[in-house]
Structure 1
Amino acid sequence: MAYTATTTHTGASLTERLTRFIAKAKEAYTLRAEYNRTYSELQGLTDRELNDIGVRRCDIKDIARDHVYCS
């Protein structure tokens, strides 16, 4: 007995999927650049300046991540 499998593709076209992929890649690149900028700016502050704004040096990564990805 033979079985035949038929599949239909009802999703987006290759062009649409590629366009969405490129848009997501651009967004990820932009977010990463913002993270790096925020991290670098905070890292460049002196311990006294960080203390003035209530930030511990060990929290800089978390603050930069929250600023970019959780806002």
Structure 2
Amino acid sequence: MFGNVFRKYHDWVKYRRAVDELSRLSSRELSDLGITRNEIEFVARRTRG
């Protein structure tokens, strides 16, 4: 049970970190990566796995 809670928390931390880092980039930098601001949360969700 605690392992599952810990894993979910760890996944959430990775997700928030990715969203924060991507959000700090300029639109030009995001474009160079091939993503838009609207896709940040989608891209960040993929980093959890």
TM-score (norm 2): 0.92
Aligned pairs for 1:1-71 within 5 A: 21-68=1-48, 71=49
Provide the C-alpha distance between the structure 1 equivalents of 2:16 and 2:25, rounded to a whole number of angstroms: 15
Partner secondary structure for residue 55 of structure 1: coil
Q: Say which structure, 1 or 2, has more relative contact order (CA 8 Å, 6+ apart).
A: 2
* Structure with greater helix share of residues: 2
- Residue deviations 1:19-51 (CA, integer Å, cap 9, x gap): xx1110011100000000001000110001001
Q: Count matched residues.
A: 49
Structure 1 unaligned segments of length 5 or more: list them: 1-20
- Which structure has the larger Rg over C-alpha atoms? 1
CA RMSD of aligned residues (A): 0.8
Runs of 4+ in 1 over 6 A off after TM superposition: none
Percent identity over the alignment?
31
